[in-house]
Amino acid sequence: MKNLMVTGGAGFIGANFVHHMLGKYDGYRVVVFDKLTYAGNLDNLLPVKDDPRYAFIQGDICDAEAVDAAIEAHDIDTIVNFAAETHVDRSILDPDAFVQTSVYGTYVLLEAAKKHGLERYHQISTDEVYGDIPEGYSSVESDALRPRSPYAASKASADLMVQAYHITYGLPITITRGSNNIGPYQYPEKVVPLFTTNAMDDKPLPLYGDGRQKREYQYVGDHCSAIDLVLHKGVIGDVYNIGTGVEVENIDMVKILLDTVDKPHDLIRHVTDRAGHDRRYSLNIGKILALGWEPDHTPEEAIAKSVAWYRDNEWWWRKVRNEDFESYYQVQYGKRLAS
Ligand code: NAD
Ligand code: DAU
């Protein structure tokens, strides 16, 4: 592995992964290939913009010619695919782009990896592919996939296609299924940056339903170090869960968040729930722990550290909470907050 193409590298986790890899290793070159949708943001890559080991290409993973050209121009040997539409609520409003990018786009990347004989294709997947998990159980990598939202179904489809390319064509793939990431550069449609930035402006925090849903909130840097480990030590063809093993109820996450920015708990508003809202995700992380990984943050530390980043980086999120964002906010929350 020498020349990595990080698709979706201008988004939240992709950008953190670029910083992780260029910060830790001298010998790799990283090409970010990103369409720059509403969620892509070159500000996320500002710290590496003048690094000679980094290059940026604006392109769509559904565009086979552009993908081929990027691989050839930069002598790419490894693809790490973060590119996706990623917000569950938007997938409920309009699933089209989710299917395009995760299903067709992943197929295009797999074809390119096969054609160019790449050393590795790594797919970034999610714990949401396992669906809603009953109390007392944690998902293992061999479990059947039971996605329940259009977003999760698009990710599960991609996941299965990646595995099919390994089985059918011997493509050297690995897959990681991460839990709910938080940290710097997350688009403020997601709950932690949305609630932090609302709280800073004394706006209400629209908590879905009773707020007792459980998520494994993990610090994005921990997720990136696990992906790095799988790229270096993972078994070809294998899948690895990456989570914390610790569930946090949304209502408890929100209380830590409000305490961190020193705002009152009465900013919380219980609003109409998300359609088909998965109540609980829980990952068995024995396999990634056995590979030698351990997270550096507890979920409480991850929440407080992420919230503090938004508190301290208004320059970043005030630009992102622009007119387009506010239009989306009205569609998603206008009626919910009015009733
Ligand atoms: P994000 O929405 O912040 O970023 C997605 C990036 O992909 C953006 O830069 C966007 O411009 C780019 N993109 C979208 N469609 C594209 C296309 N057709 N061609 C090229 N680029 C395109 O997403 P994120 O939260 O950083 O998630 C990254 C990956 O990790 C996704 O695959 C997601 O499913 C997965 N994941 C996310 C989480 C999480 O908690 N955020 C957890 C587990 C897995
Ligand atoms: O679990 C991994 C997944 O985590 C990733 O695959 C997704 O890409 C990522 O978006 C995230 O999905 P979630 O649906 O868990 O994240 P979100 O931040 O949208 O919501 C987290 C929890 O907070 C969820 O239970 C819904 C709740 N929530 C969310 C929003 C946006 C609210 O109560 N109110 C809100 O306004």
Q: How many structural domains compose the chain? A: 2
Tell me: the pLDDT tens digits for 132-159? 999 999 999 999 999 999 999 999 999 9
pLDDT at residue number 314: 98
Residue 44 in this model has a pLDDT that exceeds 90: yes
Q: Are residues 150 and 177 in the same domain?
A: yes
Instruction: Give the span between the Cα atoms of 109 and 174, in whole angstroms.
Output: 14
- Regarding the beta carbon of 36 and ligand 1, being less than 6 Å apart is answered yes
User: Which CATH number fits the domain that encloses residue 56?
Assistant: 3.40.50.720
In a domain, 291, yes or no: no
Q: Are residues 147 and 203 in the same domain?
A: no
Q: Residue 55 belongs to what domain range?
A: 3-182+219-242
Ligand of minimum distance to the alpha carbon of 106? 1
In a domain, 293, yes or no: no
Q: Are residues 12 and 130 in the same domain?
A: yes
Q: Are residues 201 and 105 in the same domain?
A: no
Active-site residue list: 127-128, 151
Q: Which of 7, 13, 20 maximizes ligand 1 atoms within 8 Å of its Cβ, making it the mutation to test the pocket?
A: 13
Q: Are residues 157 and 87 in the same domain?
A: yes
Residue among 181, 183, 254 nearest 223 (CA)? 181
Classify 288 as helix, strand or coil: helix
Q: Which of 86, 121, 185, 250 maximizes ligand 1 atoms within 8 Å of its Cβ, making it the mutation to test the pocket?
A: 86
Tell me: the pLDDT tens digits for 21-39? 999 999 999 999 999 999 9
Ligand 1: centre distance to CA 84 (Å): 4
Atom of ligand 2 nearest to the CA of 278: 25
In a domain, 100, yes or no: yes
Number of H helices, E strands in the chain: 13, 13
The pair of three-digit structure tokens given for residue 38, joined into one six-digit string: 């509403």
Q: Using an 8 Å Cβ cutoff, are 122 and 59 in contact? A: no
Q: Which of 16, 194, 208 maximizes ligand 2 atoms within 8 Å of its Cβ, making it the mutation to test the pocket?
A: 208
Instruction: Give the span between the Cα atoms of 59 and 65, in whole angstroms.
Output: 10
Instruction: Give the span between the Cα atoms of 291 and 153, in whole angstroms.
Output: 28
- Regarding the beta carbon of 281 and ligand 1, being less than 6 Å apart is answered no
Classify 32 as helix, strand or coil: strand
pLDDT at residue number 210: 98
Residue among 3, 4, 70 nearest 35 (CA)? 70
Whole-number mean pLDDT of the chain? 98
pTM: 0.99
Tell me: the pLDDT tens digits for 106-137? 999 999 999 999 999 999 999 999 999 999 99
Q: Are residues 70 and 199 in the same domain?
A: no
Tell me: the pLDDT tens digits for 295-312? 999 999 999 999 999 999
Residue 177 in this model has a pLDDT that exceeds 90: yes
Tell me: the pLDDT tens digits for 202-256? 999 999 999 999 999 999 999 999 999 999 999 999 999 999 999 999 999 999 9
Q: Using an 8 Å Cβ cutoff, are 78 and 4 in contact? A: yes
pLDDT above 90 covers a percentage of the chain that reads 99
Q: Are residues 120 and 148 in the same domain?
A: yes
User: Which CATH number fits the domain that encloses residue 311?
Assistant: 3.90.25.10
Ligand 2: centre distance to CA 202 (Å): 21
Instruction: Give the span between the Cα atoms of 179 and 223, in whole angstroms.
Output: 9
In a domain, 223, yes or no: yes
- Regarding the beta carbon of 213 and ligand 1, being less than 6 Å apart is answered no
DSSP for 295-337, written as a single string: -SS-HHHHHHHHHHHHHH-HHHHHHHS-HHHHHHHHHHHHHHH
Bridge partners, 268 (sequence order): 205
In a domain, 288, yes or no: no
- Regarding the beta carbon of 250 and ligand 2, being less than 6 Å apart is answered yes
Q: Are residues 205 and 311 in the same domain?
A: yes
SS3 of 250-282: HHHHHHHHHHHCCCCHHHEEEECCCCCCCCECC
Q: Using an 8 Å Cβ cutoff, are 271 and 333 in contact? A: yes
pLDDT at residue number 339: 82
SS3 of 30-83: EEEEECCCCCCCHHHHHHHCCCCCEEEEECCCCCHHHHHHHHHHCCCCEEEECC
Q: Are residues 174 and 302 in the same domain?
A: no
Q: Which residues contact 297 (CB under 8 A, 6 or more apart)?
A: 218, 219, 221, 222, 305
Q: Are residues 269 and 137 in the same domain?
A: no
Q: Are residues 200 and 74 in the same domain?
A: no
In a domain, 317, yes or no: yes
In a domain, 315, yes or no: yes
Q: Are residues 59 and 118 in the same domain?
A: yes
In a domain, 318, yes or no: yes
